[in-house]
Chains A and B, each alone.
Chain A
Amino acid sequence: MPKRPCAIVLTPDDSTILCADKFGDVYSLPLMGRRYETKAVNGIDANGTNGTSDRNQKQKPFAPSATSLTVHTKRNRDALRQQQKLNETKAEKKALNFDHKLLLGHVSLLTDIACVLRASPSQKLRNYILTSDRDEHIRISRGIPQANVIEGYCLGHTEFITKLCVPPVYPHLLISGGGDDYLILWDWRAGRLLQQLDLKQLVATLRNTHLGAEVVSESSTTKDTETQVDSALRICVSNIQALEIEKQKVGHPGVEIIVTCEGVPALFTFTLGANAQLQFNATIHTESNVVDLTVLRNQNSVIYSMDNCHQSWSTDVSSDTASQSPRGLMGSPSYCTDSKTWKENQVLQANLVAATRECADSYSQISQAGVAHGKPLTDLLYGLESLRKRGSDNETEV
Chain B
Amino acid sequence: MKAAGKRQKREDYRRTHKEQGNAALPQKKFYRQRAHANPFSDHQLTYPASPALMDWSPYYPAFITPDPQPTPNDPAPKALTKPVTVADIGCGFGGLLVALAPRLPDELILGLEIRTQVTEYVEDRISALRAQHAAASSSDGRYQNIACLRANTMKFLPNFFTRAQLSLMFLCFPDPHFKARKHKARIVSGTLCAEYAYVLRPGGCVYTITDVEELAEWMRGRFEAFGKVGGEGGEGGEGSGVGVFEEVPLPGEGEEGTWVDEGGEKGRVGLLVRCIREETEEGKKVTRNGGKKFVSVFRRRADPAWPDEV
Contacts and interface: CB of A to CB of B under 8 A. Distances in A.
Interface residues of B, number: 76
B156 A135 contact: yes
Given A25-B191, A104-B194, A394 B227 contact: no
A398 B304 CA distance: 47
Contacts of B215: 65
Interface string B153-171: 0111011000100000000
24 contacts: A49-B230, A56-B221, A65-B176, A65-B212, A65-B215, A69-B211, A70-B211, A71-B282, A71-B286, A102-B233, A105-B189, A105-B233, A122-B309, A146-B304, A146-B306, A148-B233, A153-B50, A156-B49, A156-B50, A391-B44, A392-B41, A394-B38, A397-B33, A398-B33
A390 interface: yes
Contacts of B44: 391, 393
Contacts of A56: 217, 221
Interface in B282-307: 282, 285-286, 289-292, 303-304, 306-307
Interface stretch (A72-80, A278-286, A303-311, A338-346): A72-80
Contacts of B290: 69
A148 B198 CA distance: 10
Interface string B69-86: 000000000000000000
Given A148-B194, A389-B42, A53 B178 contact: no
B198 A157 contact: no
Q: Nearest 4 pairs between A and B by C-beta?
A: A105-B191, A155-B50, A124-B308, A102-B234
Contacts of B304: 146, 149
Contacts of A72: 35, 175-176, 211-212
A189 interface: no
A391 B42 CA distance: 6
B266 to A, nearest CB: 30
A126 B308 contact: yes
B202 to A, nearest CB: 12
A396 B154 CA distance: 20
B179 A82 contact: yes
Nearest to A58: B180
B192 interface: yes
A71 B291 contact: yes
A9 B242 CA distance: 29
B133 interface: no
A70 B189 CA distance: 22
Given A66-B213, A83-B178, A146 B190 contact: no
